[in-house]
Amino acid sequence: MDLAFTPDELAFRDEIRTWVKDNLPADISQKVHNAMRLTREDLQRWAKILGKKGWLGWGWPTQFGGPGWTAVQKHLFEEECALAGAPRVVPFGPVMVAPVIMAFGNAEQQQRFLPGIASGEVWWSQGYSEPGSGSDLASLKTRAERVGDKYIVNGQKTWTTLGQYGEWIFCLVRTSTEGKPQTGISFLLIDMKSPGITVRPIKLLDGECEVNEVWFDNVEVPAENLIGEENKGWNYAKHLLAHERTNIADVNRAKRELERLKRIAKAEGVYDDLRFRDEIAKLEVDIVALEMLVLRVLSAEKSGKNSLDIAGLLKIKGSEIQQRYTELMMQAAGPFALPFIFEAMDAGWQGNFPGGVVANAPLAANYFNMRKTTIYGGSNEVQRNIVAQTVLG
Ligand SMILES: Cc1cc2nc3c(=O)[nH]c(=O)nc-3n(C[C@H](O)[C@H](O)[C@H](O)COP(=O)(O)OP(=O)(O)OC[C@H]3O[C@@H](n4cnc5c(N)ncnc54)[C@H](O)[C@@H]3O)c2cc1C
Domains in the chain: ranges and CATH: 7-88 (no CATH), 124-231 (2.40.110.10), 250-392 (1.20.140.10)
Rounded distance, CA 349 to CA 182, Å? 46
How far is C-alpha 304 from the geometric centre of its chain's CA atoms? Answer: 26
- What is the distance between the alpha carbons of residues 165 and 41, in angstroms, rounded to a whole number? 10
- pLDDT over 80 at 391, yes or no: no
**pLDDT value, residue 348:** 62
Nearest Cα residue to atom 23 of ligand 1: 134
Handedness of CA 226, 231, 236, 240 (dihedral sign): positive
Distance 170 CA to ligand 1 centre (A): 18
322 Cα–ligand 1 center, Å: 17
**Model confidence band, residue 247 (pLDDT cutoffs 50, 70, 90):** low
Q: Which mutation among 213, 375, 383 tests ligand 1's pocket best, with the greatest number of atoms within 8 A of CB?
A: 375
Mean predicted confidence (pLDDT) in 254-258: 94
Q: pTM of the full predicted structure?
A: 0.89
In this structure, which residue's CA is closest to atom 4 in ligand 1? 159
What is the DSSP secondary-structure string of 251-284? HHHHHHHHHHHHHHHHHTT-TT-HHHHHHHHHHH
Mean pLDDT, the chain, whole residue set: 89
Q: Contact, 222 vs 150, CB < 8 A?
A: yes
**Confidence category of residue 11, pLDDT binned at 50, 70, 90:** very high
C-alpha 336 to ligand 1 mean position (Å):
31
CA angle 204, 206, 209 (to 5 degrees): 45
3-state secondary structure (DSSP) of residue 393: coil
Share of the chain above pLDDT 90, in %: 68
SS3 category, 309:
helix
Closest ligand 1 atom to 131 CA? 26
Q: How confident is the model at residue 109 (pLDDT cuts 50, 70, 90)?
A: very high
Cα–Cα–Cα angle for 141, 369, 210, rounded to 5 degrees = 50
Q: Which residues touch 31 (CB under 8 Å, ≥6 apart)?
A: 37, 38, 42, 87, 348
Distance in angstroms (rounded) separating the CA atoms of residues 210 and 188? 23
Confidence of residue 344 (pLDDT cuts 50, 70, 90): low
Answer whether residue 6 shows pLDDT above 70: yes
To test ligand 1's pocket by mutation, which of 129, 168, 241, 371 has the most ligand atoms within 8 angstroms of CB?
129
Is 343's pLDDT higher than 90? no
Ligand 1, pocket residues at CB < 6 Å = 126-129, 134-135, 159-161, 211, 372, 375-376, 378-379, 381-382, 385
Burial category of 1 from C-beta neighbours within 10 Å (exposed 0-12, middle 13-18, buried 19 and up): exposed
Burial state string for 267-302 with b = 16 or more CB within 10 A and e = fewer than 16: bbebbeeeebeebbeebbebbeebbebbbebbbbbe
